[in-house]
Amino acid sequence: MDLSQRSVAGVFSGKRVLITGGLGFIGSNLARVLAAGGARVTVVDSLIPEYGGNLFNLDGAPPGITVNIADVRDRFSMHCLVQDRDVLFNLAGQTSHLDSMHDPFTDLDINATAQLFILEACREVNPQIDVVLASTRQIYGRPQYLPVDEKHPISPVDVNGVSKNAGEQFHLLYQSVYGLRTRVLRLTNTYGPRMRIKDARQTFLGLWIKQVLTGQPMEVWGGDQLRDFNYVDDVVAAMLRVVADDTTVGQVYNLGSAERISLRDLAKLLIRVAGQGSFEIRDFPEERKRIDIGDYYSDSAKIEAAVGWRPTVALAEGLGRTVRYFREHFRHYV
Amino acid sequence: MDLSQRSVAGVFSGKRVLITGGLGFIGSNLARVLAAGGARVTVVDSLIPEYGGNLFNLDGAPPGITVNIADVRDRFSMHCLVQDRDVLFNLAGQTSHLDSMHDPFTDLDINATAQLFILEACREVNPQIDVVLASTRQIYGRPQYLPVDEKHPISPVDVNGVSKNAGEQFHLLYQSVYGLRTRVLRLTNTYGPRMRIKDARQTFLGLWIKQVLTGQPMEVWGGDQLRDFNYVDDVVAAMLRVVADDTTVGQVYNLGSAERISLRDLAKLLIRVAGQGSFEIRDFPEERKRIDIGDYYSDSAKIEAAVGWRPTVALAEGLGRTVRYFREHFRHYV
């Protein structure tokens, strides 16, 4: 990890931190790092089976983490939970693009309405809190140019993109109007230990890892699309860096990687790293094709200039660590 | 009006038309024109006192208009009401910028969640329906350049702008994903007979008209800000034109005017046209200042190129008609 445990400890030791979606993939990795650095962490998670929360994600975690089961759509719980915190990492979300089309109301409730609950609660009872929102590259839609920087037009291709965009805009609005200390990270594909591998709801790469480890062929839709990937430790480092820096308030930053790869080559790399596996190139299913974005990769120059962040874990290395993690803990994730 | 009654009759005669917000300012003017042209019009309105609905707006209207009192947040009513319609003019909305900050949840419910209900209903039971959404220039926020065209970045300065933007994106999304025949008009300040003049919830100009007619001084905040205005008949004409043209499906168009005027000069013009009145320049109230957008005027070249629309009623003429209307019917609007 880019930001060493020592420097994290310096900044967050003794801080009271709230993480929504804290039993999920990124949230739990973040909670572990913060707790190791001496922070007093409360994770909020609803443990809805289709989402990323998993109690095992905190197995063997450092002391100092409190688990609070609650749904971010529960306005009064959130009102209570944001009180007396120094920092909020706001990571809870509905992430599945397909689910957002099958049940658009739930997606909007979680990714927009609940975000407004959280922000109103902060404004009312804790206006000094530092907030980081985990947003998504999905809001850009099909890239009009590459790499995609933060000025790229917003043109979502699914309900998830619309809802997340509204949630993001609310965060920026509550900064400009009320002075809340919010900032936004637009994540690209993130992978690593503790990701959801049961299905493709978090990312197709999760499902691929399960398929590789169970001897099933990976289903590669299309195959030529270019994507970029961030290892979860790098994403955690980005969150810690932006929240430790006052100049990031009110700003939006892309995460991303200069290492771009086609889905076909990614499948080959995963097989090589795992020493097993196979894949099949498939035509897009119709409902998936309608919301696919084609090639995508981010320009993350803005966050590098602002806080010196850049990814440090190469894809082959990160995939290796991920495969090792899931080999060891497979039964807790399927 | 640009599109003559005769040509409206040709296109909409016998058509079954639904207008949400149809007892409101623009909706009622639209309903009257359509009914005069032989359309079978159903207006849906919740008559919430703070919004624009007013039963008097259909006083003396041509036959052929059915009133259905319902709230667009009532999902099952909307599901029923969109069935068997040829056209939906989707005009219901929460319009007050200040109210959206005091009660952000209601604004989001009406302007985003309810829009999703309506679109889901169309997709399920009437996918052939032609839809026009009335959106707003508010989604652009403070202009980064002038005049503002449709490519201008979206950067709302209030909850109303965020919610309306989400509602608009849902309309475009249901077009691109499901082929719904939606299009979006981003309205600038609209004025004319049947507008809300009780207060500034629809536009400050409504309140000014009341103040002029009651001998109170108009409160002009700032005064130097430039704005553009459309007379309601021109806005109605734009709606009829875009819905009658297949090439507009999936498109977004600004309305606007080449006639730009400072608020101070507008106040002077209104006094001259009315032959009475006075105004006071005031500093912005703090809560208003935080969400003000400064100078704004639209570039409406895109809709002119697409369907030949341009405003035909000059500001002095439109203000004259508006003042005459409210002198005659004042008691029904205050």
The number of C-beta contacts closer than 8 angstroms across A and B is 76
B179-205 residue pLDDT tens = 999 999 999 999 999 999 999 999 999
Residue A283: pLDDT above 90? no
Is the pLDDT at B1 greater than 60? The verdict is: no
State mean pLDDT over A124-153.
97
Give B283-311 pLDDT, tens digit per residue: 888 877 777 888 999 999 999 999 999 99
Contacts of B176 in chain A (CB under 8 A): 157, 290
> B113 and A105: CB-CB below 8 Å?
yes
Shortest distance between the Cα of A140 and any Cα of chain B, in A, equals 12
Q: What is the mean pLDDT of residues A263-280?
A: 97
Structure tokens, B249 = 């499906």
Any idea which residue has 């809001």 for tokens? A139
pLDDT score recorded for residue A1: 41
Tens of pLDDT, residues B31-40: 999 999 999 9
Whether residues B113 and A101 touch (CB distance < 8 A) is answered with no
* Mean pLDDT estimate for chain B: 94
Peptide bond just before A311 cis, omega within 30 deg: no
Whether A72 and A44 have beta carbons less than 8 Å apart is answered as yes
Mean pLDDT over residues B92-106, rounded?
93
Dihedral of alpha carbons B101, B105, B108, B109, sign: negative
Chain A residues close to B287, C-beta within 8 Å: none
Q: Which residue has the higher pLDDT, A110 or B4?
A: A110
Interface touch A120/B112, C-beta < 8 Å: no
The angle formed by the CA atoms of residues B18, B236 and B262, to the nearest 5 degrees, is 135
pLDDT given at position A2: 44
The partner residue sitting opposite B112, judged by closest CB among A101, A108, A157, is A108
Q: Please give the torsion angle defined by the CA atoms of residues A188, A193, A199 and A205, in that order, rounded to the nearest 10 degrees.
A: 50
| DSSP summary character for residue A16 | E
Asked whether the beta carbons of residue B159 and residue A104 sit closer than 8 angstroms, the reply is no
Task: State how far the Cα of A322 lies from the Cα of A312, in Å rounded to an integer.
Answer: 15
User: Do the Cβ atoms of B112 and A166 come within 8 Å?
Assistant: yes
- In chain B, residues with a C-beta closer than 8 Å to the C-beta of A138 are none
Nearest to A104 among B116, B154, B161 (CB): B116
Residue B2 pLDDT grade (very low, low, confident, very high; cuts 50, 70, 90): very low
Please give the average per-residue pLDDT across B49-72, as a whole number: 94
Nearest CA in chain B to A104: B116
Asked if residue B333 has pLDDT above 50, the reply is yes
State how far the Cα of B146 lies from the Cα of B295, in Å rounded to an integer.
8
Taking the CA atoms of B156, B161, B166 and B170 in sequence, report the sign of the dihedral they define: negative
How much is the pLDDT for A288?
78
Indicate the range of B16-25, B43-52, B245-254, B295-304 predicted with least confidence.
B43-52
Share of chain B above pLDDT 90, in %: 89
Beta-carbon separation of B120 and A104 below 8 A = yes
Mean pLDDT, residues A270-291: 90
- Are residues B169 and A165, on separate chains, in Cβ contact within 8 Å? yes
The confidence score (pLDDT) of residue B319 equals 98
At B275, phi and psi to the nearest 5? Answer: 70, 20
pLDDT-based confidence at residue A6 (cuts at 50, 70, 90): low
> What is the CA angle B314-B320-B321, rounded to 5?
90
- Residue-wise pLDDT for B119-146, tens only, equals 999 999 999 999 999 999 999 999 999 9
Give the residue on A whose Cα is nearest the Cα of B168: A162
Listing DSSP states for B195-256 in one string gives: ---SSSSS-HHHHHHHHHHTTPPEEEESS--EEEEEEHHHHHHHHHHHHT-GGGTT-EEE--
The contacts of residue B52 (CB under 8 Å, 6+ apart) are B21, B23, B24, B25, B27, B95, B195, B196, B201, B202
Q: Which domains are assigned to chain A? A: 5-194+229-258+297-313 (3.40.50.720)
Mean of pLDDT values over B174-180:
96
For A155-168, the pLDDT digits (tens) are 999 999 999 999 99
Residues A250-269: pLDDT tens digits?
999 999 999 999 999 999 99
- How high is the pLDDT of residue A8? 62
Average pLDDT over residues A203-217: 96
**Residue for token pair 């994540």:** A187
Q: What is the pTM of this model?
A: 0.92
Contact yes or no for A163 and B163 at CB 8 A: no
Q: Closest CB to A116: pick one of B104, B120, B153.
A: B104
pLDDT digits 0-9 by tens, B229-244: 999 999 999 999 999 9
pLDDT at A7: 67
pLDDT, residue B9, reads 57
Using one digit for the tens of pLDDT, what is the confidence trace for A314-332?
Answer: 999 999 999 999 999 999 9
